[in-house]
Amino acid sequence: MILKRVVIIGVMGICSTPLMAEETKREDDLLILDPVIVTASARYEDLKSATSTVQVIDQAQIARSSASDLTSLLAENAVGFFSEWTPGQTSINIRGASTDGQGKDFKSQVLVLINGRRAGTANLSKLSPSDVYRIEIVRGPASVIYGSQAIGGVINIIMKNGHNTKGGKVTLKGGSFGLAYGHGEYGWQSEDGQFTGYFGFNSATQNDYDAGQGGGKQHNTSWKRHGFTGAFSWQLDETNLVDLSVRKDGVYDVGFRGSAANYHAKEDRYNKSADLIWKHGTDSDRLRWKLHNYWFEDVDDFKWASPSTAGTSLDHNKRKLSAVGLKFQPEVDLTSSNTLLLGADLEKNKLRSTRYRVGLNGAPMTQVSPYDNNQREKMYALYFEDAQRFLDDRLVFKAGARYTDGKTYYDRTPYLQNQQTGSTHYYKTTWSTGLNFQATDWLNLKASMGTGFRAPTASELGADYTTLAGSQIYGTPGLKPETNKQYELGAVFSGDSWLVDVVYFENKIKDRIITKPRSNTSNISDYVNNPDDVVVRGIEVNSRFMMHELLSWQNNWQWNVEANGAWNFHMEDKGAKDRNTDKVQRMYQYQASIANRFGQREVAYPWFIQVTGILRGPMWYDTEERLIAGAEPYRNYIHRKSPFMVWNIKGEVEVYKNLTVFAEVNNLFDKNQHPIFIAIDKKPYILDPAASNGGLGTSMMGRAVYVGSTYRF
């Protein structure tokens, strides 16, 4: 079926503008100091030459990680705040802009891409890192090639293919809480280089886990995961290349404890897509272009139940978003020092939701509307971005603008009483500009400005639904689009063995769409535009060091350090004047990560040990948990969650040619914490038993030990 859709939708691909295949990097490269990036500008450029902040998680970092999902992988690299509601659900906050807690794509202020086009989901926990080649994170609205939802930035997930992955690999892993994981892949190229291909698959399962010290079994936290990726490329001639890829990834039968520590609710969440890309031209041609046709389908299938708080034995809500789109990007060298990128985007998408509730012991119930209104959307956009180089390419100036025009149709939604049907038209012009100056061989200075927006959804404009816990949320016709403006000033310091990227930023978000209770005691909320700006100012640092070269070590000893962090020293929600704090919710005040990798390569048995520390800083949150009397002064009190740090360790040794065995310990010191919940599973309990559906708090996974092996061929 997927292949049939690919034939129907046209021509597309996986990489970016140049026709050349990317240089293949060895998976066990210890450190890439200045990786090539494509996300911010759709052109290949070195990290230190970029005009905006781009963080790269390369193949070596992915291969060394013990993460089972992309949320955990990005958290290891201090990308932003991740709420991690369940093993299959998360939201993210970057520079004050956040994704929706359920991963709804159109409600997100951070745009998630797969191979340069919209993924259709912002829930990174449903996606596996197994077939991911590289991830590029753009902070803020740094490029006009992206439209709605890039307020906080872009996370571009670049998949493996025959250009960037050669040979085969099989990995097996097992351990704590019944984990069983398997992954296989094979990438190849024909002898004449005309054809390339890749196939990969992954499958994993894990049982309910235990909390850390002082906690117990976290019932209903088990999950299953499986997916596959296939890619094929055909070099038609020297100037024409066609790439085809299909993929599916998801997490199934995953427990949803939620804010009520629920023992009964389960979910299936999966995402599938097909891409066909036709690239014409080479680096020596003055005119090059890429035509990218894509299709995706994203499904969230909630098989929830809430016996205690809603009296349901089943609350089945299925949400399916499907889309077809076309991206056309010509690029022309106007002069030897000026390159103009043009673009046109077209997309049609459709969202359909159903919901059915059953009472306790099979009793009939009054049916209520789904969590999302049915809608369709048609969107087109035109944009340009020009890059001018001066002073023998030491100074780069970029500027561009984008016009986005869309129409959202409100379709009939089951059980939505008195629904208004019709449509809403939106249009927005956004712009970005930036420069990078190579002041010395070891210092690059950069500055950028940009604007972004997010259009309101049909649900926000006309919602009328009842949540799992029984509260009601209503839409508000006439909501304004969310908009933002961002400024950056930064510097990249680099040498032969080190690189430090430092940036100061200010992000102002206007007309943010939020839910507001009608009173401190009300169970009814409305979607509204935040009455004033959200303002976040901070400093971010990303760095890499080859310590063995800096210290002039001999005898094949290697020590590499990667350190990332952010300090949001000003995070003000000016519209929260009636609350107990004006801090922006669900974002860290500060965070950091550090990875030390130590070992020897050129010995009889190459070995490495990696120690990773993840500091989750303080954050403020109006918890959805129902707490006991005395745990909070009133229902809408904003809590401050204290910082905590988790350490992971991984060791590996090559015991035979191409055969590596490894062992991992996550949460080494058995911390009993949770990234978001106030009521963790630890006595004295503060979750109100009357609002619970089983447990009395939720904690993240305690200490976990895994062993495994990888064979390459």
Residues 126-135 pLDDT 10s: 999 999 999 9
Distance CA 597, CA 110 (A): 31
pLDDT in tens, 645-686: 999 999 999 999 999 999 999 999 999 999 999 999 999 999
Mean pLDDT of 592-613: 94
Nearest CA among 670, 676, 669, 490 for reference residue 588: 676
pLDDT > 90? residue 36: no
Q: What average pLDDT is seen over the chain?
A: 90
Q: Which helix (H) or strand (E) holds 309?
A: none
Please state the domain count of the chain: 1
pLDDT in tens, 461-484: 887 877 777 778 888 888 889 999
Q: What is the DSSP letter of 18?
A: S
> Max alpha carbon distance in the chain (Å)?
77
User: What pTM was computed for the model?
Assistant: 0.92
Burial status of residue 488 (CB atoms within 10 A of its CB: 0-12, 13-18, 19 or more): buried
pLDDT in tens, 577-586: 888 999 999 9
Task: Find the domain containing 656 and state its range.
Answer: 2-712
CATH number of domain containing 546: 2.40.170.20
Distance CA 72, CA 19 (A): 33
Mean pLDDT of 426-453: 95
Distance CA 662, CA 658 (A): 13
Please, which pLDDT band fits residue 26 given cuts at 50, 70 and 90?
very low
